[in-house]
Amino acid sequence: MVRKIKQDQPCDVYWSYETKERCWQRGKDATFFSHDYNRFYYMSISRRGEHYHLASVWLPTTVKAAESPTLQMEVSIPLEDDEFVTYTLKPPRLDPSLMMDGNVKRLIDQGKSFIIPIKKWRSQWIEDRNKYYFKISARWKQCS
């Protein structure tokens, strides 16, 4: 599912799992599209060893989109005890010579990702669906 985004407006993404442990065992990803910039943004929460890394890249759909100013992405993750952790990412352009996983691996290797506290990620149990829901909120702004 591709989520449509607008600058300075939050976009919530949810993942669901039957147990909290399933959330901690798998990576997550989300794809966003900006009509204003004609760009796709891909965000990944990838497991490497015992840590989960948050990383993002963008892909232009036109020549003009490739030349437009870069957007930064602010990602907010709700944690237990009503706390939040917020990360500001300045996603680089996707390297077309690599597959998506290769792009994310490169960002992690270069230290251009953030380690997130996944086991403190607040979830919500939905009884009628028998699942835990985990949420992030993303917002885009022009880089200063």
The pLDDT assigned to 39 comes to 93
| Residue 37, burial from CB neighbour count under 10 angstroms (0-12, 13-18, 19+) | buried
Q: Would you call 64 helix, strand, or coil by DSSP?
A: helix
Which one-letter amino acid corresponds to residue 124? Q
Instruction: Check: CB of residue 58 under 8 Å from CB of residue 94.
Output: yes
Segment 98-125, tens digit of pLDDT: 999 999 999 999 999 999 998 899 999 9
Section 85-92 average pLDDT? 94
Segment 26-57, tens digit of pLDDT: 889 999 999 989 999 999 999 888 899 999 99
Segment 60-70, tens digit of pLDDT: 999 999 888 88
The pLDDT assigned to 144 comes to 66
Q: For residue 87, how far is the Cα from the chain centroid?
A: 10
The pLDDT assigned to 142 comes to 85
pTM of the model: 0.90
